Amino acid sequence: MFTGIITDVGEILALEDRGDLRARIACRYEVETIPLGASIACDGICLTVVELGHEGDRGWFAVDVSAETVAKTNLRHGRTAWAPGRRINLERALRVGDELGGHIVSGHVDGTAGIEALRPEGDSLRVTFRAPDTLARFIAPKGSIALNGTSLTVNEVEGSRFGVNLIPHTRATTTWDDIATGDLVNVEIDTLARYVARLRELDG
């Protein structure tokens, strides 16, 4: 379980195809405090730590990514494809007593949305996305959504398009300053929205 509050920006060090994809990711976490089997959200994807180590003055952890996860995410798409040097958002799993600053995020990516437009708005950046119809019905104005693991508030919705505002702090502490139109981002729908939609189906 996560909150969508990014706590580090990691860097892909190496990738290895082993049937599943093994990724080695540099981080600023004290890797001595990460147990094998721990969950870390990597660009919103909940992955299990299978190996730990150091490279120079940096710690790293390794995860295995299944073919199904690769197919559902932006991990192999264009500019957003994971490759050595790529930066990704990281969040360690929520612990009892931690502050819940975002919203409840499971790290189970539902699909991807494409960036259609970027527009400065004061000091913030307004980003417009297009989501698949299967996901768009769960997205509501002022609702929560996790994009690349970041808890964000939806500003407006028009059909399959929706927009969010990125404040300077969010852009400075995540990878959101790396984005461009045409990029795909990982989407996790708010659990509450999913249950509300399901209840409506049952009532209908």
Q: Tokens for 75?
A: 């991990």
| Contact assessment for residue 5 and residue 44, using Cβ atoms and an 8 Å cutoff | no
pTM, entire model: 0.93
Tokens 């045409």 appear where? 182
Domains of the chain: 8-92 (2.40.30.20), 111-203 (2.40.30.20)
* Mean of the per-residue pLDDT values of the chain: 92
Q: Which residues of the chain register pLDDT less than 50?
A: none
Beta-strand pair 45-55/58-65: antiparallel
Instruction: Determine the Cα–Cα distance for residues 189 and 4; give it in Å rounded to an integer.
Output: 12
Amino acid at the residue 7: T
pLDDT of residue 88: 98
pLDDT tens across 85-96, in order?
A: 999 999 999 876
Is 22:13 a contact under the CB 8 Å cutoff? no
